[in-house]
Amino acid sequence: MEANTIEQIQKGLREKKFSATELARSSFEAIRERDGKLHAFLEVTEDLALEQAKAVDEKIAKKESAGVLAGVPLAVKDAILVKGVRCTAGSRMLEHYVAPYDATVIQKAKDADAVIVGKTNMDEFGMGASTENSAFGPTLNPEDETKVAGGSSGGSAASVAAKEALIALGEDTGGSIRLPASFCGVVGLKPTYGSVSRSGVIALASSFDQVGPFARTVEDCETLFNVIRGKDPMDATSVELRDSVPKFLGTESLSKLRIGVPKEYFGEGLDPAVESVIKSALQSFEEAGAKLVEVTIPHVPYALAAYYVINTSEASSNLARYDGIRYGASKEGTTLLETYLRTRGEGFGQEVKRRIMLGAYALSAGYYEAYYVKAQKVRTLLKQDFEKAFEKADIVAGPVSPTLPFSLGAKTQDPLSMYLVDIYTVPANLTGLPALSVPAGKAGSLPVGMQFMAPAFREDVLFQAGSMLEHFQKL
């Protein structure tokens, strides 16, 4: 059945070309066909999905109003709670944890009549750029099964790219939506910090974490974002948003759009194949009438170091709750200390232990001022850099990743080289700004994503720029 967008699904359901139940079953057929190898899903929620699909079909039969996501197969990153379904965060620590309630974003998706087809694989507690740190095995890239899918939301990106789900929810702490979107050739948004509730989302670094959508088109990405965004009394960091944001351009003309190109994004370490695709895409904008403006983000060279100091500090604090006493895995010892050591030693993977130790060190007496405080100062300087850049430009554009999707196992023995993959994505998390990854072309057979960043709460500008890039790709 031909239904590749949310709009096509809604039209097909209205015209009785297929039912929501048939759509759900076609998703499960795709999962059975491909996921044995890809491993995008940790849990397939067939009973839940068929129950939700049946409810949509009954609404349509009774000519009742159905939600904007009626019948749409939705995959969910396994750090987001879905009531009654296991939620592991990719960790043995939570292998048997069943969510007692829905995350706010899940409740909103259910209210919009989405059909939840399963929970997707991820790097353990979101710590990784390849989904190889999952305690349950890696996710492969649907474009090339010898390559990684990106991380930490690799399962969500792969499920959409492999047509196992139409849309998906991920979570982005330092690039965890945008990087897998780029590697798998789909669209992914890291929203402005505070625009989407984090209630019911397993925390990694609370001042960075943000839930966002994956889709095959920019329009579908925008639709899912509009469903999940908004103020939530259960999340004090969430903010009230306007119901509708005026379109920035007003028309399809590009003559008003100023695209900032940071000189720091096109230097040492950028794969020439990636650079070629990005520069070609930028040229398409220029030829269509947009103005390319060179901007400088002088503190970008310090962003990655600052990010990992703050990320590990917040992670060490957040993950202290997994102590074998309250919930999650428990390995009882003869003393309280032994219980802690056994539980955390056996429950956490290598990368999680590494970050907990780094964070505890950065926060310890004598080092707090030297590391954590300095990192927060870099964060402030970076915000100021982007404020100045947005005085000259409406959006900032560049690569998502310095590399093409890499081979499985290529970076697992060198944590620093894995961290460097985040070099272009962490600034958006440090500053809280929205950022969108859109397919910009291919280098050989491998996808390359372009990243657009905009001022806070101006996702509308990102979606318009992304739609334009999509248009150029079809020409």
* Burial (Cβ within 10 Å: 0-12, 13-18, ≥19) of residue 464: buried
At residue 373, φ and ψ (nearest 5 deg) are -65, -40
The greatest distance separating any two alpha carbons of the chain, rounded to the nearest whole angstrom, comes to: 71
Structural contact between residues 69 and 112, judged by C-beta atoms closer than 8 angstroms? yes
CA distances from 94 to 6, 105, 135, 258, 357 (A): 33, 21, 10, 46, 20
In whole angstroms, give the CA distance from residue 169 to residue 88. 16
The 10 Å Cβ neighbour count of residue 296 is 14
When computed from its CA atoms, the radius of gyration of the chain, rounded to whole angstroms, is 21
In whole angstroms, give the CA distance from residue 283 to residue 298. 24
Q: Check if 374 is active-site.
A: no
Which residues 6+ apart lie within 8 Å of 384 measured at CB? none
In whole angstroms, give the CA distance from residue 278 to residue 265. 11
Q: Among the options 130, 152, 316, 401, which is catalytic?
A: 152
CA distances from 74 to 6, 41, 46, 105, 475 (A): 11, 12, 12, 12, 30
In whole angstroms, give the CA distance from residue 91 to residue 108. 26
Q: Among the options 27, 59, 77, 91, which is catalytic?
A: 77
Q: Among the options 176, 195, 199, 313, which is catalytic?
A: 176
In whole angstroms, give the CA distance from residue 176 to residue 126. 7
Q: Check if 176 is active-site.
A: yes
In single-letter form, the type of residue at position 463 comes to: F
The 10 Å Cβ neighbour count of residue 43 is 17
Token readout for 348 is 């956490």
The separation between CA 413 and the C-alpha centre of its own chain, rounded to angstroms, equals: 24
Among all residues, which ones are annotated catalytic? 77, 152, 176
